Structure 1
Amino acid sequence: MDKREGPERLVVIGGDAAGMAAASQARRLRKPDELEIVAFERTHFTSYSACGIPYWVGGAVEERDQLVARTPKEHRERHIDLRLRTEVTEIDVSGRRVRAHDLESGTEYWTSYDKLVIATGARPIRPDMPGAGAAGVHGVQTLDDGQALIDTLARTGGRRAVVVGAGYIGVEMAEALLRRGFEVTVVNRGAEPMATLDPDMGRLVRRAMEGMGITMVDDTEVTGLRTGGDGRVRAVVTKDAEYPADVVVMGIGVEPVTGLAREAGLPLGAHGGLLTDLAMRVRGHTDIWAGGDCVEVLNLVSGQEQYIPLGTHANKHGQVIGTNVGGGYATFPGVVGTAVSKVCELEIARTGLRERDARRAGLQYEAVVIESTSRAGYYPEASPMTVKMIAERNTGRLLGVQIVGGEGAGKRVDIAAVALTAAMTVEQMTALDLGYAPPFSPVWDPILVAARKAVKKLRETG
């Protein structure tokens, strides 16, 4: 173990959004002679946009480095001792140290800490099934993963791609592969794609994807992957059929990487993520913080802990952690569950609770659905959109909004996200003074139309 002399030492496990945001913010507040910062990252890259990987794979983003917000060199110039290709394999809480494994040299060593940040992120879920580790089967979470997939696509002779799963990653990768000229099949165990939406809204996504030429296979469980004599994947196997594949992308979601934390005895929630307080400290541990895709967060609408791995949250977590480590004060109060995505020209958005979330939380509610357009109906290129709004009975409090439509649909969810954060009622929303001009919106914005319909339904039901 290295000697502990000189300034306090902050050790950061994980070099992407949360980890390096925390390290950078702490460095802004404390000088190198006051705080030494050591950061470990097992891959080749730091501070990059994992959310942009599908668009890099699909060609919308031309170069990998466009996704990198800050290079290792830039971090080191800010006096952060960044150690790439180094994986932390053990956290010794009582000894206040971590064991690191250099993946290039194979050497292992201990590094002590005064303060520790755990930002180990998430990994693609790889079901335990025959062929899951075959060549040509990919998960997409890191830049290394994205590069491996691009390399496979470049050398694959066939043009048949199968995406397993139809969540955010699944639909985004379906678009990427379609844009690369592949015949795309999406195999989804849910009744409709996008389980983050209610089924009636997911159905709109399925119909749109089928209209783009994507083959949708819903309500189907994958049982294995068939490989050829060369060990490469040849087909995705279900109970009733086989779907030929030259490349397979596993898009069934991600899980928090918290094995180190579990072995160290740190508290985990029902979803497997680390539990923290409002300052992002790991509960019960004064000098250990955690953030990003390895933690659970408070849903401000339901009041329950939830696992929502998003880059927006990770960067905010890092800022909060870095401020607190650096001697300041900051909190992360929670989220309302806002997310947007797209598949080709279709925009998909949600915030707050789905119907099943509301039922699980014990809330009584009413739901309404309206059809509208992104612009005034007479204005050129006005695109249709469907808005679903959920409101609490008796109180009229907004509980959730889902939007599926063309250009201009997705970011409208931000109006609802603000209303949820402010705990507004749907009646209060009807009076919102939103911007209007025919190129941007109908006179009554679709969000306000939905709010008016929700008010009407609440009144009718007493």
Structure 2
Amino acid sequence: MTAERLVVIGGDAAGMSAASQARRLKGPDELSITAFERGHFTSYSACGIPYWVGGDVAERDDLIARTPEEHRARSIDLRMRTEVTEIDVAGQRVRSLDRDSGETSWTGFDKLVIATGARPVRPALPGMDAAGVHGVQTLDDGQALLDSLNRTEGSEGRRAVVVGAGYIGVEVAEAMLKRGFDVTVLNRGEQPMATLDPDMGRLVHDAMDGLGITTVNRAAVTAIRTGQDGRVAAVETAGASYPADVVVLGIGVEPETTLARAVGLPVGPHGGLLTDLSMRVVGHDNIWAGGDCVEVLDLVAGRTRHIALGTHANKHGQIIGSNVAGGYGTFPGVVGTAVSKVCDLEIARTGLREKDARAVGLRFVTATIESTGRAGYYPGAQSMTVKMLAEYRTGRLLGVQIVGRDGAAKRVDVAAVALTAGMTVEQMTSLDLGYAPPFSPVWDPVLVAARKTVTALRKAGTA
């Protein structure tokens, strides 16, 4: 019997999770697996790069979950530094380019997995390609940034400018601060962390200022100015110039769907591939896609959205691998949970922001509370702010945002479960959460926010 041929494009979280799961379920006599990765590394944590750069993670290899040799030992034909340049859907084959030798070849498939990830947003502005301007998307990017930082080691008054104040921006700002740089963050938005409402983003801004990070809002970059040596010298905005020895871009990412678009595979409003619940590309029985190149269903808003997170990518890969190997699995969607930190300040959100709720036509009420992560009398208790959104009339939980210290961020998981279950805020007030003074007040901050939101709903209902 001839083995089925599985081809995987992309050798990181989704792609290699799919390949590994398929191999667990089917041996090489039943299923041959060929995977293509254009970079130098596979199966690594891109989310860990800021912590490696900042010194929290000692070695680059600590971020690598499985090496190419380990994948190959499981009968996966993993071809590194090999980029797929064309998909022939009708002919069931892909063309690849060996980036070292320059040779091209065709590989046939019976089943195809597209896991091409996301590409960083890099505006077409003067100086963006100058030496000393860095992204943090891949391990190669992280190494280049470290090399640039080490180049200035020992110099006084080193200055770093971070462009963008989302998750990557604030995490890199922390890394630069730990490396001894004077750090300026340039943010186009009203407040840092646009994934939060502006009132919660203001808390992040104040905390960053308190840490010595200068945050400039409503600052659109117009150019990167270079010195006589061709290296970055300053970042220009419409109203000011910010000297820089190194610039890090944290502007965000967008789905990498160039190959898929070229052959007419369906993409959604955010540019990601569209799949069904089994992660099969809509309209194509033998093509699956997962990870940062797809759009997923937002279970709260009822619309698709693009969320680039390793947690989702690994789940997609597990589901795809099961399905291509003859099993069955589904990915129902997400509620939009994410956490981050800048030094000791923890930042978390799940569900909808105010503008998200308005965009899908939902009427809602909000409540914001301040509490502590432990009993107020217990040593080390620190404050946190919790904001909650609930649907008007029904009381259905719509979203939660948390900014604080001392274990604040992971409290958002309670809200994520409540959102997934479709709970109301009144139902949440009766949740049986763990309590002891070292871990929580008698009323956990999330439950305090739920109680206050119930009160807001009652007032709104009688207004």
Normalising by structure 1, report the TM-score. Answer: 0.98
Q: Give the superposition deviation at 1:7.
A: 1.1
| Residue 40 (structure 2) pairs with residue 44 (structure 1) | yes
Pairing of 1:176-325 with structure 2 (within 5 A): 176-325=175-324
Provide Cα deviations, 1:116-158, integer angstroms capped at 9, x if missing partner: 0000001211001000111100111111111111111111265
Match of 1:413 in 2: 412
Task: Give the AA of the match of 1:408.
Answer: G
Residues of 2 paired with 1:89 and 1:135: CA distance? 28
| Residue 28 (structure 2) pairs with residue 32 (structure 1) | yes
Match of 1:341 in 2: 340
Residues of 2 paired with 1:167 and 1:418: CA distance? 24
Match of 2:141 in 1: 145
Partner secondary structure for residue 355 of structure 2: helix
Pairing of 1:440-459 with structure 2 (within 5 A): 440-459=439-458
Q: Which runs of 4+ in 1 moved over 6 A?
A: none
Partner secondary structure for residue 87 of structure 1: strand
Match of 2:61 in 1: 65
Partner secondary structure for residue 293 of structure 1: helix
Residues of 2 paired with 1:256 and 1:140: CA distance? 16
Task: Give the AA of the match of 2:358.
Answer: R
| Residue 365 (structure 2) pairs with residue 369 (structure 1) | no
Task: Give the AA of the match of 1:206.
Answer: H
Q: Give the superposition deviation at 1:220.
A: 1.0
Q: Give the superposition deviation at 1:444.
A: 0.2
Match of 1:383 in 2: 382
Partner secondary structure for residue 234 of structure 1: strand
Q: Give the superposition deviation at 1:202.
A: 0.2
Residues of 1 paired with 2:144 and 2:368: CA distance? 42
Pairing of 1:106-121 with structure 2 (within 5 A): 106-121=102-117
- Identical positions, percent: 75
Q: Give the superposition deviation at 1:89.
A: 0.7
Residues of 2 paired with 1:49 and 1:11: CA distance? 23
Match of 1:105 in 2: 101
| Residue 2 (structure 2) pairs with residue 6 (structure 1) | yes
Residues of 2 paired with 1:79 and 1:185: CA distance? 48
Task: Give the AA of the match of 1:113.
Answer: F
Which one of the candidate residues 66, 70, 74 is aligned to 1:78? 74
Q: Give the superposition deviation at 1:314.
A: 0.2
Residues of 2 paired with 1:397 and 1:209: CA distance? 33
Q: CA RMSD in A?
A: 0.8
Partner secondary structure for residue 201 of structure 2: helix
Q: Give the superposition deviation at 1:95.
A: 1.0
Q: Give the superposition deviation at 1:230.
A: 1.9
Match of 1:350 in 2: 349
Match of 1:95 in 2: 91
Partner secondary structure for residue 32 of structure 1: coil
Partner secondary structure for residue 358 of structure 1: helix
Q: Give the superposition deviation at 1:6.
A: 3.2
Residues of 1 paired with 2:259 and 2:229: CA distance? 35
Which one of the candidate residues 145, 149, 155 is aligned to 2:151? 155
Residues of 2 paired with 1:23 and 1:341: CA distance? 29
Residues of 2 paired with 1:285 and 1:407: CA distance? 48
| Residue 15 (structure 2) pairs with residue 15 (structure 1) | no
Q: Give the superposition deviation at 1:229.
A: 2.0
| Residue 388 (structure 2) pairs with residue 392 (structure 1) | no
Match of 1:127 in 2: 123
Unmatched runs of 5 consecutive residues or more in structure 2 = none
Task: Give the AA of the match of 2:371.
Answer: S
